[in-house]
Amino acid sequence: MTRARAFVTVPTMSERLHDKLVWVSGGSRGIGKAIATACARAGARVIVTSRRQESCEAVAAEINAELPGRAFARACHAGEPDAIGDLVQWMEDTHGVPDVLVNNAATNLYFGPLLNTPASMWEKTFEVNVRGYFETTRQVATRLLAAHRPGVIINVASIQGDRGAPLQGVYGMTKAAVISMTRTLAVELGRAAIRVNAIAPGLVDTRLAQGLTGDPTLVKHYTDRAALGRYAQPHEIAGLAVYLASDESAYVTGQVFTIDGGYTAT
């Protein structure tokens, strides 16, 4: 089968997110870094967070070299509610309450049969992927509600959350929970003009997915089925995040957008 080629265009500056403050968790690499960069190029101020301060600062420096003053860095462990609370308070005091929250920080610690999952890996995966998303959302949404301000929550889920996930069962369960949370909060927060949507990528070339992208057999299983015949690069997810963060999607909430090169269409 002839493989479809990835067409990469040179990014252009815009003001689609002018005056918006965007917080991207897990923003130090992969999809998070791509989303943070794309949002800055669309006119937003971006706060990049992840566990390691130096990693956040590296991404912020890269963005600021192109767009001075657009990016800020702050370390935060996405699995620790107290750390999240302290971070959001720092944001409010220093930059203001984010207009847009992109929940992207995630982990995938175990690859193997679901019944063999070690308890510690189960707990850690849910701590980061579900509790972390919920706590960041709660911290931001309650402040937006108190201020009677609109806002946007974007949850990075996965196609594994909407289908069986052999050998990635716990990860798939957490992403199913994220999809459910997205839909519930969209209903509960909609009348306050806070929109909640999810992006569900397929296989993307990130460090989190190295266990898959580094295995030729697993890659072939994916690319043979995907309509485009390849897996994605992080920047190919970022454009949808910018759209969902912008006023162009003002009537969009409670939706899960699949980006998988046509994998689930077959």
Q: Annotated active-site positions, please?
A: 171
Structure tokens at 77: 């462990």
Closest listed residue to residue 31, CA positions, set 128, 158, 141? 158
Q: H-helix or E-strand containing 207?
A: none
CB 99 within 8 A of CB 20: yes
CB 159 within 8 A of CB 200: yes
Distance CA 67, CA 252 (A): 29
Strands 45-50 and 256-259, by their bridges, are unpaired
Q: 105: phi > 0 → left, psi -120 to 50 → alpha, else beta; which? A: beta
Distance CA 85, CA 148 (A): 20
Look at the alpha carbons of 74, 178, 231, 250 in this order and tell me if their dihedral is positive or negative: negative
